[in-house]
Structure 1
Amino acid sequence: MGCGTSSSVKDKKSEKALKAALVIQNWYRGRSAQLKTRQRYALTIFQSIEYADEQGQLQLSNFFSFMLENYTRVLEEDSELVTHLLGSNIQDKDRQDYLGLIDVPDSYCGPRLQFPLTFTDIDLLIEAFKQQQILHAYYVLEVLFETKKLLQQMPNFTHTKTSPSKEITICGDLHGKLDDLFLIYSKNGLPSVSNPYVFNGDFVDRGKNSMEILMILFVSFLVYPNDLHLNRGNHEDFMMNKRYGFTKEVLNKYKLHGKKILQILEDIYTWLPIGTIIDNEILVVHGGISESTDLNLLHRIERNKLKSVLMPPIPIDGDRATEKENKVGTTITARGIRRNGSLSEQLTKHEWEQVITVFSASNYYEEGSNRGAYIRVSSGTPPRFFQYQMTRATCLRPLYQRVNAVESSAIRMLKERMISRKTDLIRVFQLQDCSKSGKLSVGQWAFSMENVLGLNLPWRSLSSRLVTTDKDGNTDYMSSFQDIHIQKPVKEVQSTLIETVYRYRSDLQMIFNVIDSDHSGLISMEEFRSMWKLFTSYYSVCIDDSQLDELAERMDLNKDGSIDFNEFLKAFYVVHKFDKLNKSDTKDA
């Protein structure tokens, strides 16, 4: 009897423990799924905004095309401005014109490169950069001149071959993420004759170590010109650098010789090959291809004439006819490159699935947001994929903390996009609010957000983070803006002007940097007005000139007739009230 009772009690305890374990397990799985969903939505926000910015680049490119098409008229009105916008600052100077005036002092304790370069210099440079040392401008310029000389001998497409015993590693965008390059070299080995690499563009911008990445890649290229291949990306472009940070990085690190470095880099970009062809089967090119891509044409073009994707060449007679004749289809397949194929030819499913995108910058949007990757390929075998992620202290935090950080950053970016279109959003909200109740259904609110912002996002799912919803499921649409506003530089200025300047602040900053040819951070009042006049004439922005003049006058705080545009943009700083709440939540967590 006693034994039977004891056994029954044990069984009941085991059953309760099992039920408790199942409850905990189900809760954990549900919680993990919820966090993964939130993380996925955050990444979707980052990606949608980035894609929208890419379209903005096309719009800016069209703006410069507009400038070219109206060149004569604009030149008559403001020849100096056009020279700033469309002219090149590069002057034909040889090596000694730059290097002859630069001394490397004995006090310099950074890496000293020995030309001709060897494998030792690659290792020396990597170790120095790991110690956060800065390479002296003299050596930077020497590397740049040597790189340009070698690149000028390269074809538009470089060819390389693999074998069953010799793989080639393909790396995608690095965007100034030096730690990712270190990690790739650590996991995969340094470049060598037996360990070749293809780096597929976008080495610079966004990250804070673009110069160090360029130096490592260029030095590696000079040591192994047949085994390290560099393709040009859309950020190997002096205009893009003005917008996305590399220009600023160079000028901050090389205050005395930064302008010279940028001038030579502008020229080097144009000589970078368009792509790499591996085993005459795999085409590695930045940004992909279209069905009208013609490799025969791309092999023949003079690539060094394309200074910037944002500033197309001036069209000449016969260009349009030539373009029509050259639109012949090219298909990239797993078995080879078909040239001059018919546009009606369709890719097979197998051929389509060999189209691969590789991105090598981890934590691109935010710490913990994404992994980086590289690919290893060799003849006769499927490609092998390797993923990694730099792990800092933030990446070692619990999952919910990492998701909170990524999500908060994404929501912040999205709210800034919303506030820049506040007037347009309110107009659309009110058009749908027939009863003038101040409320819309979640579906109507989501439709309005998508219609105005043009971001392909799961607005219904995101509504809980962006707008207040009542118990009946209706949104108080004005609450979309209750915890965020643009800091107004002038109280009397129209809200539409403030939103317009904020919405186009990146484009205006880029044009400002082009006009500011001496990189002083200042432009004259006349240049500012001319810039705005050209900008508004293309973008069809209806802003009263007197309002803009008043704003510009008030921003010229010291009344010296010049505008510090960085300070001007800071006046349009977005204030997030919810940031304080997020910080307190993080402390509590």
Structure 2
Amino acid sequence: MCLSLLICLKANTKPRLEGHWKEVKLDSEYKGPNLDKAVDQVFATALFEYYKCGDGKVSLPKRYVLRILEDVKRHFMTTSQLVNITIETDEKVIVVGDTHGQFFDVCNIFDTLGMPSQKNHFLFNGDYVDRGPFGVEICLVLFSFILSDPTHLYASRGNHETYYANKRYGFYDEVIQKYDRETYDFFNDVFSSMPVAHIINNTVFVVHGGISTTIKNIAKINEIPKGLEPQKGTFYMEYLWNDPMEQNGVKPSERGIGFYFGPDAVIDFLEENNLQLVIRSHEVKSNGYEWLNNESGCLTIFSAPNSESDGNLGAVVELQFDENKDVTCEIKQFRQVNGPILKIEKAPEEDKGKVFLFCYAPIILVTTSALAILLSCL
């Protein structure tokens, strides 16, 4: 009986996403792109233009939002936690760092560097939400391009694609203002299925935070189950939260989560995995990018210009490979574009309490039930 309760509690810790969009009616006044079949290139491009030209005043019906979330979750659940990307010598991959709800700067990246295509791949490296007011729009556009062709655009999970961060730093408030708490839960359900890292041409390792201080071999990443919230003290959390430092060695991070790792750790990691370069994001840089100790093999890319009025540039990096799989990096910098201002109001505290219960109550209950089972066997 206790065992049945334990199984049920584990099974019910996530909202039901499968097929739920069919129960939601379409707003009769909606005049944007129609999603009457599976997401394709036409819809993805139309959605991008709809948001871009809407000046921050248009929205996608909840029915369509939930359908995109359901379909992209299904896609992510079929991918590995470490995704391999292979490109030819006449193709390139553009790695984009944190965008933090700055949708109109994402528009600028696409408008300047081209849309996702067979020759022009994009890899977005986490932190799409929080701080800026258009995290919903960034996610839905990126997810739509992934669904239209998953070999043209890739996306990693960042530390802000977790309940721990995004219920505190703005995304929860944004989704409550634009939709509701159910939709917020569904977004996080998708986030928990996103890949941890990517490896390009078996040469470049791309992850949001940094390398793990405890696990050197990247094959271990594929042992991380999908659908989890990363816990403090795990190497999953390290990949989302760790930062480089100029000194050799490792030490606990001042963030209170994760670690700092030095150039020696990067060299060991690259040698262990036969790689040339680590690309990570996670930190604001005044120039939008920063090499660790003068191109030592670790590059930080941050793509949200003037983040929280910091005055920083944004940057991306274009990667191309020769016949020997040697990589060439070209940094592209940009300033913040003039976009609409949207004020996101704080959600009521009682709703945030519900999020806490959704996140942690099942864990507490499962732990309590497991303890009861253990004691009954003594």
TM-score in terms of structure 2 length: 0.69
How many Å separate the matches in 1 of 2:182 and 2:96?
29
Conserved? CA contact 2:103–2:137, under 8 Å? yes
Residue identity opposite 1:353 in structure 2: S
Conserved? CA contact 1:170–1:376, under 8 Å? yes
Q: How has the CA–CA distance of structure 1 residues 87 and 361 changed in structure 2, closer, same or farther, with 3 Å as cutoff?
A: farther
How many Å separate the matches in 2 of 1:88 and 1:511?
24
How many Å separate the matches in 2 of 1:135 and 1:274?
28
Match of 2:149 among 214, 224, 239: 224
Q: CA offset at residue 335 of structure 1?
A: 11
Q: CA offset at residue 124 of structure 1?
A: 0.8
Residue identity opposite 2:338 in structure 1: R
3-state DSSP class of the match of 2:128?
coil
Residue of structure 2 equivalent to 1:248 = 173
How many Å separate the matches in 2 of 1:284 and 1:517?
31
How many Å separate the matches in 1 of 2:213 and 2:13?
36
Conserved? CA contact 2:90–2:119, under 8 Å? no
Residue of structure 2 equivalent to 1:26 = none
Residue identity opposite 1:338 in structure 2: E
Percent of aligned pairs sharing the same letter: 26
Structure 2 residue 88 is matched with structure 1 residue 166: no
Q: CA offset at residue 127 of structure 1?
A: 1.5
Residue of structure 1 equivalent to 2:126 = 201
Residue of structure 2 equivalent to 1:390 = 336
Q: How has the CA–CA distance of structure 1 residues 518 and 173 changed in structure 2, closer, same or farther, with 3 Å as cutoff?
A: closer
Q: How has the CA–CA distance of structure 1 residues 351 and 518 changed in structure 2, closer, same or farther, with 3 Å as cutoff?
A: closer
Q: CA offset at residue 119 of structure 1?
A: 1.5
Residue of structure 2 equivalent to 1:235 = 160
Q: CA offset at residue 379 of structure 1?
A: 0.9
How many Å separate the matches in 2 of 1:285 and 1:518?
28
Q: CA offset at residue 92 of structure 1?
A: 4.0
Q: How has the CA–CA distance of structure 1 residues 91 and 135 changed in structure 2, closer, same or farther, with 3 Å as cutoff?
A: closer
Corresponding pairs, count: 292
Unaligned runs of 5+ residues in structure 2 are 1-9, 236-263, 275-291, 340-345, 358-378
- Quick check: which one's strand share is greater? 2
Structure 2 residue 206 is matched with structure 1 residue 284: yes
Q: How has the CA–CA distance of structure 1 residues 104 and 284 changed in structure 2, closer, same or farther, with 3 Å as cutoff?
A: same
Structure with bigger RCO (C-alpha 8 Å, 6+ apart): 2
Residue of structure 1 equivalent to 2:245 = none
Q: How has the CA–CA distance of structure 1 residues 298 and 511 changed in structure 2, closer, same or farther, with 3 Å as cutoff?
A: farther
Residue of structure 2 equivalent to 1:107 = 29
Residue identity opposite 2:333 in structure 1: Q
3-state DSSP class of the match of 1:387?
strand
Q: How has the CA–CA distance of structure 1 residues 355 and 93 changed in structure 2, closer, same or farther, with 3 Å as cutoff?
A: closer
Superposed CA RMSD: 3.5
How many Å separate the matches in 2 of 1:134 and 1:273?
27
Residue of structure 1 equivalent to 2:81 = 156
Match of 1:515 among 339, 350, 353: 353
Conserved? CA contact 1:334–1:354, under 8 Å? no
Residue of structure 2 equivalent to 1:29 = none
Q: Which one is further off, 150-159 or 110-119?
A: 110-119
3-state DSSP class of the match of 1:196?
strand
How many Å separate the matches in 2 of 1:513 and 1:87?
23
Q: How has the CA–CA distance of structure 1 residues 285 and 510 changed in structure 2, closer, same or farther, with 3 Å as cutoff?
A: farther
Structure 2 residue 248 is matched with structure 1 residue 306: no
Cα-to-partner distance string for 1:187-224 (whole Å, 9 max, x where unaligned): 11111122111100001111000000000000011012
3-state DSSP class of the match of 1:182?
helix
Q: How has the CA–CA distance of structure 1 residues 162 and 94 changed in structure 2, closer, same or farther, with 3 Å as cutoff?
A: closer
Structure 2 residue 191 is matched with structure 1 residue 353: no
Q: CA offset at residue 281 of structure 1?
A: 1.0
Q: How has the CA–CA distance of structure 1 residues 514 and 360 changed in structure 2, closer, same or farther, with 3 Å as cutoff?
A: same
Residue identity opposite 2:317 in structure 1: I
- Quick check: which one's helix share is greater? 1
Q: CA offset at residue 134 of structure 1?
A: 0.3
How many Å separate the matches in 2 of 1:510 and 1:312?
32
Structure 2 residue 287 is matched with structure 1 residue 365: no
Q: How has the CA–CA distance of structure 1 residues 370 and 88 changed in structure 2, closer, same or farther, with 3 Å as cutoff?
A: farther
Q: Which one is further off, 290-299 or 218-227?
A: 290-299
Q: How has the CA–CA distance of structure 1 residues 513 and 309 changed in structure 2, closer, same or farther, with 3 Å as cutoff?
A: farther
How many Å separate the matches in 1 of 2:17 and 2:88?
43
Residue identity opposite 2:153 in structure 1: L
Unaligned runs of 5+ residues in structure 1 are 1-85, 314-329, 341-348, 394-505, 520-589
Conserved? CA contact 1:372–1:389, under 8 Å? yes
Structure 2 residue 272 is matched with structure 1 residue 338: yes
